[in-house]
Amino acid sequence: MDDDEPADPHSPTSDAQPDGRPSVTIAVYPDGPLIIRGDYALVTHVGEPIDPGRLTIALCRCGKSRAKPFCDGFHALARRTAEAES
């Protein structure tokens, strides 16, 4: 193979998809979680794997989830409670 050819996008070592987009995206949802899609590895701070349970995951961004690191929708309840008390 000629060294000047671009890397095979289907090879396991490539970090890009055939269309050039990165293999992992992190989407920031307004007043909501971070949603992670793609070929990610979810691990603890010491590198222990965390079972994501599904392909696309939502990570808590408000700190109130009781299922951290995953979002459990609690941000919406917390906001409603704060509105009711204010």
Site string for another protein, 39-68 (x = CB under 8 A): --------------xxxxxx------xxx-
- Which of these ranges, 4-12, 13-21, 23-31, 41-49, lies near another protein under the rule CB under 8 A? 23-31
d(CA 49, CA 17): 24
> Phi and psi dihedrals of 18, rounded to 5?
-55, -30
SS3 content of the chain, % helix, strand, coil (to 5): 15, 20, 65
Q: Any bridge partners for residue 25, and if so which?
A: 37
Smallest distance from another protein to CB 1, Å: 34
Residue ranges binding another protein (CB under 8 A) = 29-33, 35, 53-58, 65-67, 70-74, 76-77, 79-81, 84
